[in-house]
Structure 1
Amino acid sequence: MNDSTVAVFYIARGIDAGLNSAKEFVEAWSRHPPEHAHQLYFLAKGWKSELQHQKLVQLAQSCDAKLLDLPDTGFDFGAYFRALPQIEEKWVCLMNSYAKPNTPGWLRLLSQSARTTGNGIAGATGSWQSLGWSPLKQGSISATAATALSNIINCANWKKFQSFPNPHLRSNGLVIEKCLLEQFAKNSKFPKTKNEAFQLESGINGLSMFALDNHCKLVICGADGKEYPIEKWPFSVTFRSHEQQNLLVTDNRTHEYIASSKNRRRKLADLAWGRNNVRMIRESPKNTTPFLHNTRRTKCPACDMYCADPFLNSRDYNRQISTHTFDYWKCSECEMVFIDPIPEDISKFYSGGYQEIPDNLLSLERMAKKEAYRLSPLLRHKEHGDILEIGPWIGIFSLNAKRRGFRVSAIERDPHVCRFLRQVVEINATETDDVVGELQNDNKKYDAIILWHSLEHLAKPWIVIQQASHRLKVNGILIIGIPNITSTQAELLGAKWLHLDAPRHLYFWSPRGLRKLGMKNGLSVLELHTRDRLSRVLERNAWQHRIQGIIGNRFTRIFLSLIAPPLLSLFFLKNGGAGITVVFRNDGPADPTERKCDAP
């Protein structure tokens, strides 16, 4: 056995699939040999008939498979988790009860994709489908009472699944490094319900998300031998695309699609890829794979690659300092949304600031008392120590932290505010707009660094987070709050969303993207919220702002501003609130590019 040998886990379940499915698998296995070093394992579960079980044993022997008898609990992932300690191979291929190899050399192609790119994982199929509440842009939702009822029924899944698009590799025909799967099993809850099993495949803490957090890339490998990154999955002609003629491995879901009517196929494809992409797939030649070659792209400043697509265009609707249109882009690699180009004289758009500088400390204390709840993420992890707030403006958070016994320093670009912070709030405030340079030159270590809705204003915020992680003590925390560009409110209000605030807000991330950014810099995630108190306040303010912009009658406007926001927030919960709050921790020196399974 060499290091590239793959343990192929085939779920042989007696209750649902039965002996016929196992026979069909073996026949397909014989017709389409793997052409790669392997050991086939039958994971036998749910065989109540001794006679049927004996036939399964004979079937396994006919293809030189080892048979592992397992309890019939935990669904497919439970079987995979239980089988892992019983094998010696360093790579694993997952095959469910209905799996059938579909082309010769299928395992060779999957193994090459997982190994040669250093991914550690590759799949025969993937999907963007979300089992949570799919957003309007998926295109498969109609405004009907039945849909609304369905969304309410699915409310339990809102926080467990990424909203559409929710890219994940399907756990059938999936090759993965054994150590990566072992670490995932160690960190995961053993599934007891079907929903928990679905979460392991496509949830926010599922296998694909875990692989991304461990610096793997999610790729689909087709029968044509090509690798397809996430943005090209809908056009890979594999899962629910054309006649699926590029599939390496089939299963009951791919068979369902082929056997469906034209109308049913369209609905299934809508769920997997979204209506707009399905329309593009239908209009493309069926024997080719369109790669969005007509899509205008720009360079992502964080990734330094041309991997960013147009996101939206907006103007300065909040302050109306300019009528210029600003372009926002979204990177397909790091999921950052950014403005490009950045206005040359960005300072003029800050005229007047966000809040007036108070006349005295008493006025600031009145304001700070109303926002004392913002200390909660800090106080849950730290009781005292040295903290640095980047972008405090008039110092509301800094004052509250100082009152609780923290030693507070600050970095702020506005000279008038810096003077106020030093003379009135009496904290050490450094005046600079070069936050990266200041962090690089600062040798002090902090118990906490705070970026409370300031990260989106900073130049090169990905480097700010990198440098901030270097300025944290061991077990020090980094608290970040930013607007949630993936919230339902942001999607609905688009260019006129209050918290887009073009062009002052330069950068945004999804919750997943922000989490990946922190982990890339060696930080672990302690908390991540999109429905905390500040998020709800931001959401209410944005609803009120929009209502006041479209309702002319003064009394109607006041009435709706009071009544509508809580109702709208309750209905549009699916992608979280208008803000993201995340708490990272510095667990100590580590190589941020090292996958967990490579650690000693």
Structure 2
Amino acid sequence: MANNISKITTKDYLVTQEIFELEYDSNSEMLVTKPAPNNLEKYYDPNNYISHSDNGNSLLEKVYQTVKKYTLNKKVKLLNKYSNTQKKLLDIGCGTGEFLINAKNQNWKTVGVELNDSARKKAVDKKLEVYKSLEDLNDRKFEVITLWHVLEHLPDLDKQINKITSLLDKNGTLIIAVPNYKSYDAQYYKEFWAAYDTPRHLWHFSQNAIKNIFTSKKIEVVKTLPMYFDSYYVSLLSEKYKTGSSNYLRAFYRGFRSNMKAKSTGEYSSLIYVLKKE
């Protein structure tokens, strides 16, 4: 079991306040959101869902946008380590397109997929090539495919992974970033942990879960990297869900402590996985 927990009761703190269960799947070692809504669109209210917005009005939004600019540069540097002469990139769940713009500025040939109509329109308005569905790409191949905090959102996970890997070049690289439910901040905040983000997050991964899922597809994790800022941002939201107040100092302390503990355990709040076909 997941740290002796077979089920967690949490809720959609962001939009609807509906109750959901997280059930442990012993085969994959991940937590699964139940029930999974038939229509997820209503849970992505653009007024509340920060990654579909370019705004920086509130303090939280300003912090988010500032950190995002820094991390975008780090992401492109990582991308460049796995490039060849083609430099063909597919970013799945590209939001409003900032990562694609940064990659394009460094000579990547970029394509994005974004389900949300509002976010996709903003990306297209920036002269980016962005589609609504993976099916729109037909049989195109990409050197690098990225999913930055997207895999946890995808319905019918097995089918989606099969489609994603079919779009990857033979020697291509898959880069995935997801929250880690075995991190200290997840264990501390429990049902209030903001990175559960039910029901938008349908799946909740541990390091073993990612390895188990992709090994079955003959895809190997070749590198795991921390996302240091996520513990602070997630703790800030979690404090608000737990206490009704942001409690900036307390959230910063919990985020800092999570990173310190992860130095020895490797269990950071969010992790980047670099994967290759075996």
Taking structure 1 as the reference length, the TM-score comes to: 0.41
1:355: which partner in 2? 51
Question: What residue number does 2:26 align with?
Answer: 332
Q: Which amino acid aligns with 2:229?
A: V
Residues 565, 418 of structure 1: CA spacing in aligned structure 2 closer, same or farther, 3 A cutoff? Answer: closer
State the SS of the aligned residue for 1:499: helix
Task: Letter of the 2:206 partner, please give it.
Answer: S
Cα separation, 1, equivalents of 2:154 and 2:118: 19
Give the corresponding residue for 2:70. 370
Distance 1:422 1:412 in 2: 10
Alignment of 1:266-305 (within 5 A): none
Out of 146, 171, 182, the residue aligned to residue 486 of structure 1 is: 182
Q: Provide Cα deviations, 1:320-369, integer angstroms capped at 9, x if missing partner.
A: x323211111211122321122123321111123235438xxxxx98864
Alignment-mate amino acid for residue 324 of structure 1: E
Aligned pairs (5 A) from 1:181-260: none
Q: Which residue of 2 aligns with 1:290?
A: none
Structure 2 counterpart of 1:503, one-letter code: P
Query: Which amino acid in 1 is paired with 2:219?
Result: L
Q: Residue type matched to 2:79 in 1?
A: L
Aligned to 2:234: 542
- The 8 Å contact of residues 368 and 400 in structure 1, kept in 2 or not, is answered as no
**Other structure's SS at 1:476 match:** strand
* CA drift at 1:500: 0.5
Deviation, 1:561, is 4.0
In the alignment, residue 158 of structure 2 is paired with which amino acid?
W
Structure-2-length-normalised TM-score: 0.83
State the distance in 1 between where 2:179 and 2:207 align: 10
Task: Tell me if structure 1 keeps the 8 A contact 2:239–2:245.
Answer: no
1:468 pairs, out of 164, 187, 197, with 164
Provide the rounded CA distance (Å) in 1 between the counterparts of 2:262 and 2:273. Answer: 21
Q: CA separation in 2, counterparts of 1:552 and 1:560?
A: 13
Asked whether 1:313 is paired with 2:9, we answer yes
C-alpha deviation, 1:386, in angstroms = 0.9
Distance 1:456 1:404, change over 3 A: same
Q: How many residues align?
A: 265
Specify the SS of the correspondent of 2:198: coil
> In 2, are the aligned partners of 1:368 and 1:396 still within 8 Å (CA)?
no
* The one of 57, 63, 87 aligned to 1:385: 87
Q: Secondary structure at the match of 1:450?
A: strand
- Per the TM alignment, residue 546 of structure 1 is displaced from its structure 2 partner at its CA by 3.4
Shift of 1:562: 4.3
Instruction: Quote the sequence identity (%).
Output: 20
Q: Does the 8 Å contact 1:444/1:471 carry over to 2?
A: yes
Match among 89, 109, 113 for residue 411 of structure 1 = 113
**Counterpart in 2 of 1:132?**
none
Q: 1:535-574 counterparts in 2 under 5 A?
A: 536-548=228-240, 557-571=247-261, 574=265
Alpha-carbon distance change, 563 to 314 in structure 1, aligned in 2, over 3 angstroms: closer
1:595 aligns with: none
**Structure-2 residue corresponding to 1:398:** 100
**Cα pair distance change 1:584/1:569, threshold 3 Å:** closer
Q: Is the 8 A contact 1:447 1:472 kept in 2?
A: yes
SS of equivalent to 1:355? helix
2:147 counterpart (440, 448, 451): 451
Residue of structure 1 equivalent to 2:220: 524
Query: Larger radius of gyration, structure 1 or 2?
Result: 1
Offset of residue 392 of structure 1: 0.8
Change (3 A) 1:495 1:547: closer
Q: In structure 1, how many angstroms separate the alpha carbons of the residues matched to 2:146 and 2:118?
A: 21
AA at the equivalent of 2:237: H
Q: CA deviation at 1:414?
A: 1.6
The 1:368–1:395 alpha-carbon spacing in structure 2 relative to 1, beyond 3 Å, is farther
Q: CA deviation at 1:513?
A: 1.7
5 Å-filtered alignment, 1:584-595, equals 584-587=275-278
Q: Contact 1:539–1:569 at 8 Å: present in 2 too?
A: yes
Q: Deviations over 1:448-477 (max 9, x none)?
A: 111111111111122222222221112101
3-state secondary structure, aligned to 1:376:
helix
CA 1:312/1:498 → structure 2, altered by over 3 Å: closer, same or farther? same
The one-letter code sitting in structure 1 at the alignment partner of 2:234 is A
Q: 2:171, 2:277 within 8 Å by CA — same for their partners in 1?
A: yes
What SS is found at the alignment partner of 2:41? Answer: helix
Query: Using a 3 Å threshold, how does the CA distance of structure 1 residues 336 and 355 change in structure 2: closer, same or farther?
Result: closer
In structure 2, the partner of 1:513 is 209
Query: Is 2:196 the counterpart of 1:500?
Result: yes
Equivalent-residue separation in structure 2 for 1:511 and 1:328 (angstroms): 17
| CA deviation after TM superposition for structure 1 residue 565, in Å | 3.0
SS of residue in 2 equivalent to 1:370: helix
For residues 245-283 of structure 1, what are the alpha-carbon distances to aligned partners after superposition, in whole Å with 9 as ceiling and x for unaligned? Answer: xxxxxxxxxxxxxxxxxxxxxxxxxxxxxxxxxxxxxxx
Over 3 Å counting, the alpha-carbon distance change for 1:467 and 1:562 in structure 2 is: closer
Which moved further from structure 2: 385-394 or 372-381? 372-381
Q: RMSD of aligned C-alpha atoms?
A: 2.9
8 Å Cα contact 1:548-1:561 kept in structure 2: no
Contact 1:328 1:339 in 2 (8 A): yes
Q: Is the 8 A contact 1:443 1:471 kept in 2?
A: yes
Task: Give the AA of the match of 1:376.
Answer: K
**One-letter code aligned to 1:521:** K
Give the aligned residue type for 1:581. I
